[in-house]
Amino acid sequence: MLNSTLNLKNTEDDQLRVVIIPIENGILSIRGLSPKRLRFELEYGLERGTTDNSFLFTESDNSKSNLNSYVLVHPPGAIYAKVFIQALGDALPNNFNKLKIIVGHVNPNRIDMIRQLAQIYSKIELISSNPGAKLIRELWDQKRPITDKDIDISKNQRIALPPIQIIRQETKLSLNNSHTLHLIPAPTAKWPGGLIAFEESQGLLMSDKLFAAHCCISDWSEAYRISTEEERRHFYDCLMAPMADQINALLERLYELDIQTIAPVHGPAIEASWRSLFNDYRRWGEEKQQSKLNVALLFASAYGNTASIADALSTGVSLTGIRVKSLNCEFSKADELLETIKDADAYLIGSPTLGGHAPTPIVSALGTLLSEGDRNKPVGVFGSYGWSGEAIDLLENKLRNGGFKFGFKTIKIKFSPSSSKIKTIQEIGVCFGRELLQKKKQQQRRSAGGLNESRSNPEILALGRIIGSLCILTIRKGKNHECMSGAMVASWVSQASFSPPGLTIAIAKDRAVGALLNRHDHFTLNILAAGRHNNLMKQFLQPFPPGADRFKGVKTESSPTGQPILPESLAWLEACVQQRMECGDHWLIYAEVSCGGVLDQEGTTAVHHRRTGANY
C-alpha cells in the first residue's frame, strides 16, 4: 500500500470530516469520520465514534482517459453527504457525470446518499445483488414516518431510479485501469443485499459490514491487532452472532481468496493480522453454536428500527450463552423458516407497521409459527411503528389467542429506540434467556433425581473456600433522558497492581451492568462494612425488572466524575476500565483507581464465604 496522505474536508459541523487515502495507483479510500456516537443502536454502545469507508477506482497514471473505469464501492450514508460529495467531486474529473456504484448493504440512509449522487451525476449505474436490488426499488420512493424534527421529504423533487446491474452469482468486473473486481453476493439475515468486492491485483477485500468496528481512526490500517479487538468483538456480538451459520459459510468462501488486506465499511483496515481476525470470527461463532438451547428470531424491518430492537434482544439472550438464530422473513425460504421454528426452544417475532399493516412475509411467518410452533415454548413480540402499531397488535393477539405463553410484555417502540430503551430491551433479552436456562436446569435435575455433582466434587468444594470482599459496583453514564445506570453485588474483587493502583473484578457475561463497563468507562466500587451490610445486600441482590431504577429508595452521593457512592459503605473507590479479558462465563475487568475514601475508620470489610465453587 502507498503511504497515506490526508485531505481534510471540514463542514459546518466540525465533528464530521472526510479523509482521502491513496491506497494504490488508481484506488482511493474516501473515509468519513465521526468522533461522536452517531446512533443509539447497541452496536455503537462503546461510544468511540465511527468511520464510513468507501472506495473509488479511478484512472491509473498510465491509462488512457476512459470514464467507464470510475467505480465507487460502498458509498456512505447521507449523514456524510456534504463532506463526502465535496471529496468525491475533488477526486473526479471536471464535468464528470458517469459513475458506477457498487452497493453492499442497503438501508434508507444509504439510499438517501445515492439519491443525492443521482442528482449530481446524471449517468449513474448501480451494481447490487438480487435481494439488494429489491430493497433499493422498495426504498427509492418510500417515505419514512416523519417526526417533528424531520423535513417533509414529500416536498422534494422525485429523482428517477438509476439502472441496476444485478449480480446473481459471483462475477468479475474488469476495469480499464488494470484492476479487476471480484463481486461476491453475501446475504445475511440483517443485510440480505450484502455484496462483497475483492480487488484481485492488490488482494484488497472490501468486506462491507463483515469484520467492521465502530471506532474513529483516520489512519488507513490498525497499528496492531489488539488495538481494535474490543471494538470488533463488540460489533460481532451485537450484529453477527445471531447469524453465525451464515457468517461461517461466508468465511469459508472468503478464505479461498488471495487476501492481503481487509477493508470493512467501518473502522481501519486490517493488513498483517487478517488471518487472526478470521480465526477469531470462527472461534466466536463456534462458541455460539455449542449452546444446547436456541431461540428463533424472526423479523422484518423497513427503516432499521425493528432490526435495532431485534439486535438488542438477541444480544441480551446471547449473553446468557443461548444461541440465537436470526431470520429476515422477507428473504428467507419457507423450508428454512419451518426448520428454524421446529428446532427452536423459544420464539421471538417482530414487525414494523406499514400503512396500518404487517409486511406480507411477517404475516406468512406468523402463520407458520401458529401452525408448527410448540405452545409449551415461550414467545416474545416486538416492533416499531410511526403512528399506530397495528402490526405489533396483530402478532400479539394471534399468538395469545393461539395458546402461546409470552416470556415478556410486548415491546412497542415509536420511531427509533433511544440508548436507554436499547439497554432496557437488552435486559429483557437477558431475563428471557435466564428463564429458559432455569427451566432447562429444572428438567435436568428431575432427570438426575436431584443429585448435584458440585456437592461431592472435591475440586469444586476447594474452590469455594476462596473468599472475597463484599462490594457494590455502581455506574452511571449519559445525561438527562439518555442517562443509564447500573449496579451489582461483586465479591470476586482483588487488588491487581501497586503502580498505578489497580484492581480486577469478575463479572458474569449475563450481567446487564457489563454493557456499561467497557474500556475508559468510570465506575465506583463501594466496599461494604461487616455487620451492617445486610440492607445494601438486600437492595442490590433482589431481581430488578428490565429498565428499573436500581437506586430507588437508596441514599447516594457522587464521585468526581458523577458515579454513585453509597454512604453506608465502609469505603469507596472510583476507577476507570483499562482492559477486558474473556474468562469462560465471566469478563475479567482491570481498572485503574483514580480516587477514593474511607467512610468508616473503625469498621472492617464484609467478606463472602461459600460452601462450593459452583455458584456465588
Residues 323-349 have pLDDT tens digits of 999 999 999 999 999 999 999 999 999
Residues present in the chain in total:
616
How high is the pLDDT of residue 69? Answer: 63
Which CATH number do you get for residue 505? 2.30.110.10
> Are 397 and 515 contained in the same domain?
no
- Digit-coded pLDDT (tens) for 107-143: 999 999 999 999 999 899 999 999 999 999 999 987 6
The average pLDDT across 4-21 equals: 64
Q: What CA–CA distances, in Å, run from 361 to 20, 307, 525, 552, 592?
A: 42, 15, 49, 43, 51
What pLDDT band is residue 233 in, cutting at 50, 70 and 90? very high
> Are 62 and 75 contained in the same domain?
yes
> Are 93 and 32 contained in the same domain?
yes
SS3 172: strand
Which CATH number do you get for residue 413? 3.40.50.360
What pLDDT band is residue 155 in, cutting at 50, 70 and 90? very low
How high is the pLDDT of residue 65? Answer: 46
Whether 309 contacts 413, CB under 8 Å: yes
Whether 472 contacts 487, CB under 8 Å: yes
Whether 45 contacts 311, CB under 8 Å: no
Alpha-carbon distance of 597 to 572, in angstroms, equals 6
Which residue among 230, 251, 286 closes a domain? 286
Is residue 474 domain-resident?
Answer: yes
> Are 406 and 279 contained in the same domain?
no
> Are 277 and 295 contained in the same domain?
no
Alpha-carbon distance of 264 to 268, in angstroms, equals 7
Query: Grid coordinates representing 7?
Result: 485531505
Rounded to the nearest integer, the mean pLDDT of the chain is 90
- Digit-coded pLDDT (tens) for 546-582: 989 999 999 999 999 999 999 999 999 999 999 999 9
- Digit-coded pLDDT (tens) for 430-449: 999 999 999 988 887 776 65
Which CATH number do you get for residue 177? 3.60.15.10
Which residue among 439, 468, 493 closes a domain? 439
> Are 304 and 353 contained in the same domain?
yes
Domain that holds residue 420: 291-439
- Digit-coded pLDDT (tens) for 274-322: 999 999 999 999 887 788 899 999 999 988 899 999 999 999 999 999 9
Which residue among 375, 404, 439 closes a domain? 439
Q: What CA–CA distances, in Å, run from 354 to 132, 228, 383, 394?
A: 20, 39, 11, 13
Is residue 193 domain-resident?
Answer: yes
Is residue 220 domain-resident?
Answer: yes
% of the chain beyond a pLDDT of 70? 92
> Are 467 and 571 contained in the same domain?
yes
Is residue 151 domain-resident?
Answer: no
Is residue 232 domain-resident?
Answer: yes
> Are 413 and 538 contained in the same domain?
no
Q: What are phi and psi of 167, to 5 degrees?
A: -100, 105
Number of domains in the chain: 3
Is residue 522 domain-resident?
Answer: yes
> Are 259 and 313 contained in the same domain?
no
Question: What burial class does residue 584 get, using C-beta atoms within 10 Å of its C-beta: 0-12 exposed, 13-18 middle, 19+ buried?
Answer: exposed
> Are 230 and 303 contained in the same domain?
no
Query: Grid coordinates representing 299?
Result: 423479523
How high is the pLDDT of residue 12? Answer: 44
Alpha-carbon distance of 539 to 144, in angstroms, equals 44
What pLDDT band is residue 153 in, cutting at 50, 70 and 90? very low
> Are 317 and 239 contained in the same domain?
no
Alpha-carbon distance of 72 to 65, in angstroms, equals 17
How high is the pLDDT of residue 60? Answer: 60
Is residue 615 domain-resident?
Answer: no
Is residue 350 domain-resident?
Answer: yes
> Are 590 and 462 contained in the same domain?
yes
Lowest mean pLDDT among 46-55, 145-154, 473-482: 145-154
